[in-house]
Chains A and B, each alone.
Chain A
Amino acid sequence: MAAKRLKTGSDFTWQDMEIGNVVTEPGSAALRRTGDWRSQRPILDKEKCNKCGLCWLYCPDAAIKPLEDGYYEPDLFYCKGCGICAKVCPKDAITMIEEEEK
């Protein structure tokens, strides 16, 4: 009896890989949910925030978004929870909380 083909999570084949695994469409990282392995997330206290923008500037993964009202907001789809924003905030307006603390 022939062995059954194994199933894996994705359906693309090795023939679908680009040569050298290049990604021909730039900017596609934003489409991938890479915030799902975060263990802590930043919480912003607007009362303390003075809109200085250091969190946005220091975020190593461009996961802090400037809002129209001048405040900043972490993009939890993409944020890995490193805590740099909380560390650099001069007003202690950002607190890191455990992901399970809803």
Chain B
Amino acid sequence: MSKRVGLEASHAAAEAAKMADVDVIAAYPITPQTHIPERLAEMVADGELNAAYIPVESEHSALSACLGAAAVGARTFTATAGQGLELMHEVVYVASSMRYPMVMTVCNRALSAPLSVWGDHSDAMAVRDTGWIQVFCQNSQEAFDMTLWAFRVGEDSRVLLPVMVHFDGFHLSHVTEPVILPEQEEVGRFLPKFHYPFALNPDKPMTHGAFGPPDVYSEAKIAQEVAIRESKAVAIQGFKEFGDIFGRYYQLVESYRAEGAKTLLLTMGSFSETAKIAIDAKKKKGESLGLITLRLWRPFPFEELRQAVKNAETLIVFDRCVSLGGPAGTVASEIRSALYNEKKRPKVVSFVGGLGGRDMPVEDFEYIVDRGREIAEKGSKELSETVGIRGEVTGIRG
């Protein structure tokens, strides 16, 4: 029998790693991710989890140790946030290019400066081109579920890629919510033993990480690009299998009360649940409105997104990240690009908000829907507006 317990998202992720029976954990504590390695270290020390826990001196070393573990075919887990992910950055590329499956929880955190330990999506967006599969969670249950799913998809012999599971620092990482924990036997059915086909083995020597001169590098990158694009089919299959065993079905792009809606709001992560309350309140007043949430960020679900928004007149995209000197809203920019060549497409309006842990209450989402419609109707000189900014901002991106 599964059981329903109170867990914060961080501990839910740690429970999932434990139930996935990970072999190696290498992580360096950083706010707001600290509770994950702390809990896993406890599990290993108490003998609840038979894994090698490698204490390291930095995030760069944490992920480097994970490369070594994955190279011998160990089920590998790490977790980080914000500056930690930045310090890992060069190794992040190596893990995906060398096709080492592993799971990394990222408790999304803003980037310095000014120094901020609080949440936004800057860290996730800074690694969007690194070739990792990236998935976003809305609540603690999903933090558990996506972690299991991440092992299942990343380790699939058709995929062999590392997966980042994102959830919002503090707004989710430290929030205790009811979580349904499955039976170990169910997890075993969902997640078979990991067999890495290129595991290093002295009896059958091979070279990992060879040099790629100019006549090889392009081919290597395209092979990697095809691999991550094709992983989408396995991601969908993984969600189906997950639902069949655990009863919760997920999708790459999710719609909430969006059928026939003229205006759609698009969000990612835990703020989606706040946005849902705003959608409910406005729909009660008879507004033609719905919510779209992007669960899968990489590989970007182009077809699913186009299908989800094609009949809307206005698509309001909410970003928790700012592309400085660029299009402002990172997600909005990608969505504009994904829809640009479509014959029938909604007007895209971009809002940036919730930066560095700034809260976005229900009324803020109600505001961006109203303001978004206004911009769609009358146009705006700005490519994006920042929610709740004090002081007038004009003419920056005219």
Binding site for B on A (CB under 8 A): 8-10, 12-26, 28
Known A8-B215, A9-B215: A21·B222 in contact at CB below 8 Å: no
Within 8 A of A (CB), among B79-121: 97-100
List the 3 closest pairs (A to B, CB-CB), nearest first: A20-B99, A23-B207, A14-B219
Within 8 A of A (CB), among B182-223: 197-198, 205-208, 210, 212, 215-216, 218-220, 222-223
B206 adjacent to A21 (CB under 8 Å) = no
B100 adjacent to A10 (CB under 8 Å) = no
A17 adjacent to B205 (CB under 8 Å) = no
B198 adjacent to A20 (CB under 8 Å) = yes
Residue among A13, A15, A21 with most chain B CB within 10 A: A21
15 pairs from A and B in contact (CB 8 Å cutoff): A8-B215, A9-B215, A10-B216, A14-B223, A17-B216, A17-B219, A19-B99, A19-B160, A19-B197, A21-B97, A21-B98, A21-B212, A21-B220, A22-B207, A26-B205
Closest to A28 in B: B207
B207 adjacent to A20 (CB under 8 Å) = no
Closest to A20 in B: B99
Closest to B217 in A: A21
Binding site for A on B (CB under 8 A): 97-100, 160, 197-198, 205-208, 210, 212, 215-216, 218-220, 222-223, 226-227
Known A20-B100, A21-B98, A26-B205: A15·B210 in contact at CB below 8 Å: no
Give bound CA distance, A25 to B206, whole Å. Answer: 6
B206 adjacent to A24 (CB under 8 Å) = yes
* A31 CB → nearest B CB, Å: 13
With a CB–CB cut-off of 8 A, which chain B residues contact A22? Answer: 198, 206-208, 210
Closest to A19 in B: B99
With a CB–CB cut-off of 8 A, which chain A residues contact B219? Answer: 12-14, 16-17
A26 adjacent to B222 (CB under 8 Å) = no
Closest to A15 in B: B223
With a CB–CB cut-off of 8 A, which chain B residues contact A16? Answer: 219
Give bound CA distance, A16 to B223, whole Å. Answer: 9
B98 adjacent to A20 (CB under 8 Å) = yes
With a CB–CB cut-off of 8 A, which chain A residues contact B97? Answer: 20-21
With a CB–CB cut-off of 8 A, which chain A residues contact B223? Answer: 14-15, 17, 19, 21
* B230 CB → nearest A CB, Å: 12
B198 adjacent to A21 (CB under 8 Å) = no
Contact of B206 among A10, A14, A17, A26 (CB under 8 A): A26
* A58 CB → nearest B CB, Å: 23
Give bound CA distance, A18 to B224, whole Å. Answer: 10
Give bound CA distance, A41 to B271, whole Å. Answer: 64
* B224 CB → nearest A CB, Å: 9
* A6 CB → nearest B CB, Å: 11
With a CB–CB cut-off of 8 A, which chain B residues contact A8? Answer: 215
Known A12-B219, A14-B223, A14-B226: A23·B212 in contact at CB below 8 Å: no
* A25 CB → nearest B CB, Å: 8
Residue among B198, B207, B222 with most chain A CB within 10 A: B207
With a CB–CB cut-off of 8 A, which chain A residues contact B160? Answer: 19-20
* B101 CB → nearest A CB, Å: 10
With a CB–CB cut-off of 8 A, which chain A residues contact B220? Answer: 14, 17, 21
Contact of B215 among A10, A15, A21, A24 (CB under 8 A): A10
* A20 CB → nearest B CB, Å: 3
Closest to A10 in B: B215
Closest to A13 in B: B219
Known A8-B215, A20-B98: A26·B226 in contact at CB below 8 Å: no
With a CB–CB cut-off of 8 A, which chain B residues contact A14? Answer: 218-220, 222-223, 226
* B336 CB → nearest A CB, Å: 28
